Structure 1
């Protein structure tokens, strides 16, 4: 049973911090503690994730990049001249660059991300290589409704880009909600290009989330550092361990932070009890097949429009489209 008591008052200084605090208090008060994975991505977390993608065990980025390089021209055919390309959860622009180079006469590129500093930096770095391209970054939580810039609303068509298997970090009902919201944001006739990790051997998956260099461990623990820094927390990182494993039944990798001893921790003006071995569930990474992702998308109005995989069928890029006119 979770013991929860109010300690010193905590006052958030902006809406983003207030939302972070509310989610942390709600998550750590639950019977099964959890914190949404979107809070991994402060400036430090974003940099650590880029280091993860460079590790030999972490195949998804390499596989997705190879698909984009080899099939970029074919995938780019989904993006008509005069269209807006909207990247949800943009992070690094390395994948978008491949698409941008393959597409002619793009009206505007709209990277959307929750991490403002990285968003601005990545957008600025595109300018020298794509001087004629309009880049209109939007700092927002892509899982929630947000407004597109005017140039995107005025474009002849809109195409969503959701790489990195970020869709796997969403619970199935959240993924469906995201696709439903994306349909409303992009509008009738829109296309969606999604990177999705595929179901495969547990050994490969477990190694990818437990890299020998320890960057995934640092990435996971950085969430506690962020809570300490931004929400007045007092987590002792030496008393928490990184756990990541493949859950075969649910076809997902789970990441947790496990308390190594019984302890009380303060954050956002509250106190939380931890039992020895009790965990904070920080991330799930669902693995899909082409059929399972298509079924999810169809359920909210998207129709399959293409599937591409790497040579070893470890990763996929899947495309979907909306009808020109939505049903009443």
Structure 2
């Protein structure tokens, strides 16, 4: 069955129109507080740079989350159950989900990611390693809509959203996003979500994680400008900008910005904007959570029976909740 799905990716890719992408980018760049959605961080190079970030000593979330899955593997497997339809949102290189295969033995694996080329390569490798698992890859921007094709089984769906990616949404957006997941689920023993969520912690730890000494996160952020250039026909020069990543204590979120090093005029097909020295383009938020806040958010989204697992420092949480 899996080999027949090996070339399913182009058919499941619902690309937004070029004009819609340009309109979105231009609206963000022309806003009083210029902003570009963090989804545009993930072109092919951006996805590879994020892989490198996950290996950095300062960037604790990936290894901390992995440690939770390793330490609590038996308990997580018993809670989630086996034979699920594992829907991996923001799958990237699919490595996190693949580590769960021995535990969950999914009947079907559905990786979803905005970067079509990167996803295609990752899935090709995965099919060779796990030929007995049906894989239906979907290249999709799921940040505003979540459309699953008929090839995705409706039985015992489990949405897997690790890496605290939910924190990229503002609180109201996160609630709506979880509600869209809830609408896509069937009630049943394993119908639910398995989330990785970063918790509130000292500012110094968070500042270092998002502004590493080697500058990999800076390169990741600056690469967004190259992506925008291709999509919008713009003439951003990454050398004219610098990366900023810091924890906003009042907002309980890490913010990433690109700041103009000097006055710079940026042009694109049909428009332009003068950015003054020190003016910023907001590229990402990463909200941090409390355990109590996680339970409340999931309940408001239509989930219950919440179970959480933590690392020894309680820096990170893995959470499972069932559809009510």
TM superposition score normalised by structure 2: 0.91
- Residue in structure 1 matched with residue 228 of structure 2 by the alignment: 227
Asked if the contact 1:209/1:216 (under 8 Å) is kept, the reply is: yes
Q: Distance in 2 between matches of 1:49 and 1:115?
A: 12
> 1:125: which partner in 2?
125
Q: Secondary structure at the match of 1:256?
A: strand
* Cα deviation code 1:235-284 (max 9, x no counterpart): 12111110111100011100000112222211342111212111000000
Q: Counterpart in 2 of 1:8? A: none
| Residues 152, 113 of structure 1: alpha-carbon distance in 2 compared, 3 angstrom cutoff | same
Higher alpha-carbon deviation: 77-86 or 24-33: 77-86
Superposed, which structure 2 residues align to 1:48-59 within 5 Å? Answer: 48-59=49-60
Consecutive unaligned residues of structure 2, counting only runs of 5 or more, are 1-14
SS of 2:184's partner is helix
2:20 alignment counterpart: 19
Runs of 4+ in 1 over 4 A off after TM superposition: none
The question of 1:70 aligning with 2:71 is answered yes
- Name the residue aligned to 1:214: 215
- Residues 140-197 of structure 1: CA deviation (Å, up to 9, x unaligned): 1122333324353343x11110001100111111111110111112233421001001
Aligned to 2:184: 185
CA–CA separation in structure 2 for the residues paired with 1:269 and 1:153: 44
8 A contact 1:108–1:151 mirrored in 2: no
Q: Which moved more, 1:290-299 or 1:217-226?
A: 290-299
* Whole-angstrom CA distance in 2 between matches of 1:91 and 1:168: 17
Decide whether the 8 Å contact of 1:84 with 1:109 is kept in 2.
Answer: yes
Bigger mean CA deviation after superposition, 264-273 or 61-70: 264-273
CA distance in 2, matches of 1:205, 1:147: 34
> In structure 1, what is the Cα distance between the partners aligned to 2:17 and 2:168?
20
Residue 10 of structure 2 is matched in structure 1 by: none
- Shift in Å, 1:22: 1.7
1:163 has 2:166 as partner: no
Offset from partner CA, 1:277-319 (integer Å, 9 cap, x none): 1100000000101111111111121124210111221111111
Distance 1:20 1:78 in 2: 41
1:11 maps to which residue?
A: none
Aligned to 1:142: 142
2:82 touches 2:103 (CA, 8 Å); kept in 1?
no
**Matched ranges for 1:214-293 at <5 A:** 214-293=215-294
CA drift of 1:129 comes to 2.3
Aligned match of 2:101: 100
CA distance in 1, matches of 2:70, 2:261: 44
Distance of 2:197 and 2:115 partners within structure 1: 22
**Residues 38-47 or 67-76, more deviating:** 67-76
| Counterparts of 2:289 and 2:207, CA distance in 1 | 16
| Residue 50 to residue 17, structure 1, CA distance change in 2 (3 Å) | farther
- Structure 2 vs 1, CA of residues 267 and 72 (structure 1 numbering), >3 Å: closer, same or farther? farther
How many angstroms does 1:19 deviate by? 3.2
1:207-228, Cα deviation, whole Å (9 max, x unpaired): 0011111110000000101111
Specify the alignment match of 1:83 in structure 2: 84
Aligned to 1:294, what secondary structure does the other structure show? helix
Q: Deviations over 1:6-43 (max 9, x none)?
A: xxxxxxxx735333312211111111111110111010
Structure 1 residue aligned with 2:5: none
How many angstroms apart in 1 are the aligned matches of 2:228 and 2:139?
A: 21
Q: Aligned residues, how many?
A: 308
